[in-house]
Chains A and B, each alone.
Chain A
Amino acid sequence: MGNEEQVRELEHLITFRRDGTVSDEPVAGLGTLPPSAPPPLVDRGSRAETVAYGGGLRASSKRIVLALVVAGLLVGLLGATVYLVNAADANSYSAAVVPANVTELNFSLELPLKDILVSPGERVTAGQVLAVQTDPALVDALAAAGLAVKAATDRLAHLRATIGPALRHPDPSQAWALASARLALAEARVHLAFERATVAALSLRAPVAGTVLRVDGTPGQIVGPDGLRSSALTDPSIPTAQVFQLFPGASGSSAALSANSAVVTLVRGRRWEVIARVPESAVAGVHVGGSATFQFSDLSAPPQPCTISRVLPDPIVSGGTVDYEVVLLLRSKAPAGVLPGMSGVAKLG
Chain B
Amino acid sequence: MSGSVQETVARAQGALGRRLPAILLGLIVVAIFATVQAGRDPWHTLFVDPLINFLVLFNNVLLGQFGLAIILFTVFMRLLTLPLTVRQFQSTKAMSAIQPKVQEIQKKYKDPKRRQEELMKLYREAGVNPLGCLMPMLIQFPVWIALYRALIVLVGGVPEAVVDLSQHLYPWPYLYSAIPLEQHFLWLNLGRPDTTFVLPILVGVTTYLQQKVSTTSSVATSPEQQQMNQTLNLMMPLMFTWFTLAVPSGLGLYWLVSNVISVGISYFVYGRRGIDWRRVLLPFPEPATTARGAGKPTSAKRGEHERRRRGKR
> Are A and B interaction partners?
no
